[in-house]
Amino acid sequence: FTASKGSYEHYMLKEIHEQPSALARTWEGLASISVPRSKEVDFAKLDKLQIVACGTSFYAGLVAKYWFERVAGLIVEVDLASEFRYREPPMSKKGGCLFISQSGETADTLAALRFAKSKKQYCLSVVNVPNSSIARESDYVLRTLCGPEIGVASTKAFTSQLAVLFHLVKKAAQQRKCGQDLIKSLGRSPEHDVVSSMHQVLMKENRIKEVLPLFKDATSAIFLGRGQCYPIALEGALKLKEISYIHAEGYAAGELKHGPIALIDEGMPVVVVAPYDRLFEKVVSNLQEVRARGAKVLLISDKLGCEMCKSYADYIIELPTVNEILAPFINSVAVQLLSYFTAVERGTDVDQPRNLAKSVTVE
């Protein structure tokens, strides 16, 4: 991966396109990496995993919570570093902590790591920058190999973090002798499926541009998701607000009736991230609720989901069908492209959005 934009208009678009190779490289690296074995985590010995991160890395942690709990039967708590470090939570004697950071220098995440170490917790980290402070101070480090990420809004680092977390979940399931049916259902090479489906999503750029009228006059937008796609709804909303400056909120679709539905009025864009999985029907009923109140709905789903909901959505983006556990990988790419093209249309500074920094090394 080079640090130049090449033929792309923005680093962000280049980095979105680098994702299939970034993930393939990350998985290859994890398989071949040689590290001292002495401190490698044994998930079978843990009774709880505490994940700590900031920003987009926090959302990668939220996806991992769904994966670890469902597949590996491991209790996971996910915390924002800035909350965790000052809350001073009691730590389980048999617990472990996992820190996720692209830069490895985020001040709050580093401080949270130091706090956990002072409580004698086993500290594992997932970083992109190998000699960063977080990497140096952790007991064990796993690397995303996505190359330098220049665009301030994280894209390839996020999905590469998911790649490492997916690897850890599979390992945890094996060590804890749990979730073997789910692992089997992933087929022989889920990693290969993710990479090839991501390529297919990247070929949908023109389709994604066609839904941009949804945001044309929007001042606000809502993203909905359930289960492991709830964090993708949060990430979609974060991306949109970061680079297009449209006020956007992500919600767990089931929470709609507890407040956010009051915001829905004529023309409000609502993006629903809902692959056809065991929660699909529940999301569809949420989708009908917002549509009945005048919202303009964009459904991001797979073939079956799109077929079933054609008449309930104003816009549809059909993604390739993958095993439901893998859905966060490809749905992420769709919401990244959606925010990217929206921002380009609005003429904002996509790679350097106002008031944001790539790495936040002060509190």
Q: Which residue sits closest to ligand G6P, CB atoms considered? A: 55
| Among 315, 319, 317, CA closest to 302 | 319
151 contacts ligand G6P (rule: CB under 6 A): no
Residue whose C-alpha is closest to residue 27's, from 144, 184, 130, 169: 144
State the DSSP H helix or E strand holding residue 71, giving kind and residue range, or none if neither: helix 55-72
336 binding ligand G6P? (CB under 6 A): no
Q: Among 102, 138, 228, 342, which residue interacts with ligand G6P (rule: CB under 6 A)?
A: 102
* Residue span binding ligand G6P (CB under 6 A) among the ranges 62-70, 101-109, 197-205, 274-282: 101-109
Residue 356 in contact with ligand G6P, rule: CB under 6 A:
yes
Count of residues binding ligand G6P (CB under 6 A)? 16
Identify which of 26, 157, 25 has the alpha carbon closest to the alpha carbon of residue 102. Answer: 157
Shortest CA distance to 288 belongs to which of 266, 304, 309?
309
The yes or no reply on residue 155 touching ligand G6P (CB under 6 A) is no
Measure the CA–CA gap between 156 and 341, rounded to whole angstroms.
17
- Considering only residues 249 through 278, tell me which ones interact with ligand G6P, judged by CB under 6 A: none
358 is catalytic: yes
Q: Is 57 in the site for ligand G6P (CB under 6 A)?
A: yes
Distance CA 53, CA 78 (A): 8
**Which residue is catalytic, options 48, 119, 171, 358?**
358
106 belongs to the binding site for ligand G6P (CB under 6 A): yes
Q: Which of 19, 26, 50, 103 binds ligand G6P (CB under 6 A)?
A: 103
3-state secondary structure of 271: strand
Q: Please, what is the minimum distance in Å from the beta carbon of residue 28 to ligand G6P?
A: 22
Residue 270: which residues within 8 A CB-CB, separation 6 or more? 221, 222, 223, 224, 264, 287, 290, 295, 296, 297, 298
Give the total residue count for the chain. Answer: 363
Which span (102-110, 202-210, 211-219, 326-334) binds ligand G6P, by CB under 6 A?
102-110
Determine if 332 is a binding residue for ligand G6P (CB under 6 A).
Answer: no
Q: Which residues bind ligand G6P (CB under 6 A)?
A: 54-57, 101-103, 106, 109, 152-154, 356, 358-360
Active-site residues, by number, are: 358
